[in-house]
Structure 1
């Protein structure tokens, strides 16, 4: 059995019954909101697709964009687009990185550093990242 995405972190924003607390990333789908396609199961308190795929309906709480990761094998990817104003980069990165699923952090940091070098050559990526994560 694979390790759950959220494990024992009582401070995590995921709901107590979220599939992320029982399944690894990629072993459940994430929807933008509840829909008739993933009805609430009164027996166990979870939501499922007809094929039994568990569904989370709070992407902002688990840090994963909506996607059919289990049911359609959607790739786990995330994009980053730094704001055009250099003064907004640190707050933007703070928000993105602190709310992202851990599985995306390496990719987001790589994207951020690359975009900073391209768009804001006067910025030191290491200093910016320290401010964003501090």
Structure 2
């Protein structure tokens, strides 16, 4: 059996009944918020879609983009929108990297490095990333 996405870390921001605490990424969907599409099941404390897919309703807490990972086999992808002002890069990237799901960190770092070089060719992308992670 695959490891759960959140592996017993009691300090993790994921809710105590989040499917990320018992299932690996790809085995549950992530919705933007609670909705009628994923009602709460009082029998076990989880939320499910009509077809029985477990649902997390706090993407910011688990660091995953909203997507139908299980029910529609959506790919897990990192997406960045760098600020136009280079002075905002370090705080923006700090928040993105520290809020990201661990499975996305490599993607975010590679994407950020390429995007910094593309949008801000005068900046040292490695230095910006080091400061963001420091």
Tell me the TM-score normalized by structure 2. 0.96
Q: How many Å separate the matches in 2 of 1:94 and 1:34?
A: 28
Q: How many Å separate the matches in 1 of 2:42 and 2:81?
A: 40
| 2:128 corresponds to | 128
Q: Number of paired residues?
A: 134
Q: How many Å separate the matches in 2 of 1:81 and 1:38?
A: 29
| 2:112 corresponds to | 112
Structure 1 position 126, deviation (Å): 1.6
| 1:15 corresponds to | 15
Structure 1 position 26, deviation (Å): 0.5
Secondary structure of 1:55 counterpart: strand
Q: Could you list the runs of 5+ residues in structure 1 that have no partner in the other structure?
A: none
The runs of at least 4 consecutive aligned structure 1 residues that moved more than 2 Å come to: none
Q: How many Å separate the matches in 2 of 1:121 and 1:10?
A: 41
Q: How many Å separate the matches in 2 of 1:81 and 1:35?
A: 27
| 1:27 corresponds to | 27
Structure 1 position 78, deviation (Å): 2.2
Secondary structure of 1:47 counterpart: strand
Q: How many Å separate the matches in 2 of 1:78 and 1:112?
A: 10
Deviates more, 1:41-50 or 1:122-131: 122-131
Q: Could you list the runs of 5+ residues in structure 2 that have no partner in the other structure?
A: none
| 1:86 corresponds to | 86
- What CA RMSD, in Å, does the superposition of the two structures yield over aligned residues? 0.9
| 2:61 corresponds to | 61
Q: How many Å separate the matches in 1 of 2:11 and 2:121?
A: 37
Q: How many Å separate the matches in 2 of 1:130 and 1:93?
A: 10
Tell me the TM-score normalized by structure 1. 0.96
Deviates more, 1:122-131 or 1:57-66: 122-131
Secondary structure of 2:41 counterpart: coil
